[in-house]
Structure 1
Amino acid sequence: MTSRRIPFATGALLTIAAACSKPAPAAKPPAAVTVATAERREAPYVVVANGVVEPMRTVAVQSQVTGVLTAVHFAEGDEVRAGQPLFTIDPRPYAAALRQARAVLARDEAQAESARREAERFAALVQKDYVTRSQADQAAANAAALRAVLEADRAAVEAARLDLENASIRAPVSGKTGGLLVREGNLVRPGTGAPLVVINQIRPTLVRFSVSERDFPVVQRYASDSALHVRATPAQAGAEPVEGTLSFVDNGIDTTTGTVTLKARFDNAARSLWPGQFVQVSLQLFVQPDAVLVPGEAVMTGQEGTFVFVVDEKSKALMRPVTAGRPVGRDVLIEKGLKGGERVVVDGQARIAPGATVEVRTAPSVATRTEQPEARP
Structure 2
Amino acid sequence: MSDQKDQGPVEPAHSNETSVNETEHNAVRRRRAIFLISASVALIVVGIATHWLLSPRTKIQPTTRPSVPVSVSVATRQNVPVELTGLGAVQASLTVGIRPQVDGTLQDVLFTEGQDVKKGDVLAKIDPRLFKAALDQARGKKAQDAALLVSAEKDLTRYKTLALSDSIARQTVDHQQATVDQLKASIAADEAAIDTAQTQLDYTSIRAPSDGRIGIRSIDPGNVVHVSDAQPIVILMRIRPSAVLFTLPARFLDDVRSALAHGPVVVTAFDQNNRRALSAGKLLLIDDAIDPATDTMRLKAIFPNDDERLWPGEFVNARLSLKTLSDALVIPSTAVQRGPQGLFAWIVTSKDTAEPRPIEVGPTSGDLTVVTSGLRDGERVVTDGQFKLKRDARVQVRGTSPRSPTSEGAR
TM-score, normalised with respect to structure 2 = 0.77
1:5 corresponding residue in structure 2: none
Could you tell me which runs of 5 or more consecutive residues in structure 1 were left unpaired when the two chains were aligned. Answer: 1-7, 17-21
The structure carrying a bigger helix percent of its residues is 2
Indicate conservation of the 8 Å contact 2:291/2:297, yes or no.
Answer: yes
> 1:88 aligned to 2:125?
yes
SS of the residue aligned with 2:405? helix
CA distance in 2, matches of 1:25, 1:339: 36
Indicate conservation of the 8 Å contact 1:295/1:366, yes or no.
Answer: no
CA distance in 2, matches of 1:258, 1:307: 29
Instruction: Return the offset for 1:94.
Output: 2.2
SS of the residue aligned with 2:251? coil
1:299 corresponding residue in structure 2: 336
1:67 corresponding residue in structure 2: 104
- Residue number among 194, 200, 206 corresponding to 2:237 in the alignment: 200
**Letter of the 1:192 counterpart:** D
SS of the residue aligned with 1:147? helix
2:189 corresponding residue in structure 1: 152
Percent identical among aligned pairs is 34
> 1:325 aligned to 2:357?
no
CA distance in 1, matches of 2:298, 2:404: 32
Task: Classify 1:23/1:159 alpha carbon distance in 2 versus 1 (closer, same or farther; 3 Å).
Answer: closer
1:374 corresponding residue in structure 2: 410
2:77 corresponding residue in structure 1: 40
1:319-363: CA deviation from partner (whole Å, max 9, x where unpaired): 433212232211111011224233323234455555566544553
1:159-178: CA deviation from partner (whole Å, max 9, x where unpaired): 11111211110111222222
SS of the residue aligned with 2:404? helix
Indicate conservation of the 8 Å contact 1:101/1:160, yes or no.
Answer: yes
**Letter of the 1:329 counterpart:** G
CA distance in 2, matches of 1:232, 1:309: 36
Instruction: Return the offset for 1:289.
Output: 2.0
- When structure 1 is superposed on structure 2, of 141-150 and 249-258 the one drifting more is 249-258
2:153 corresponding residue in structure 1: 116
1:101 corresponding residue in structure 2: 138
Cα RMSD over matched residues?
Answer: 3.0
CA distance in 2, matches of 1:223, 1:198: 34
> 1:288 aligned to 2:325?
yes
**Letter of the 1:338 counterpart:** L
Task: Classify 1:364/1:121 alpha carbon distance in 2 versus 1 (closer, same or farther; 3 Å).
Answer: farther
1:3 corresponding residue in structure 2: none
1:19 corresponding residue in structure 2: none
- When structure 1 is superposed on structure 2, of 116-125 and 333-342 the one drifting more is 116-125
CA distance in 2, matches of 1:210, 1:27: 55
Task: Classify 1:23/1:288 alpha carbon distance in 2 versus 1 (closer, same or farther; 3 Å).
Answer: same
CA distance in 2, matches of 1:143, 1:129: 21
Structure number with greater Rg is 2
CA distance in 2, matches of 1:279, 1:23: 63
The aligned runs of 1:131-170 (5 Å cut-off) are 131-170=168-207
Instruction: Return the offset for 1:133.
Output: 0.9
Instruction: Return the offset for 1:256.
Output: 2.0
1:4 corresponding residue in structure 2: none
Task: Classify 1:361/1:106 alpha carbon distance in 2 versus 1 (closer, same or farther; 3 Å).
Answer: same
1:268 corresponding residue in structure 2: 305
- Alignment length, in residue pairs? 358
TM-score, normalised with respect to structure 1 = 0.84
SS of the residue aligned with 1:215? helix
- Residue number among 378, 383, 389 corresponding to 1:341 in the alignment: 378
1:230-288: CA deviation from partner (whole Å, max 9, x where unpaired): 22223269754322222121111222222222222122222222222222222222222
CA distance in 1, matches of 2:204, 2:217: 18
Instruction: Return the offset for 1:212.
Output: 1.9
CA distance in 1, matches of 2:343, 2:292: 35
Task: Classify 1:167/1:350 alpha carbon distance in 2 versus 1 (closer, same or farther; 3 Å).
Answer: closer
Indicate conservation of the 8 Å contact 1:293/1:366, yes or no.
Answer: no
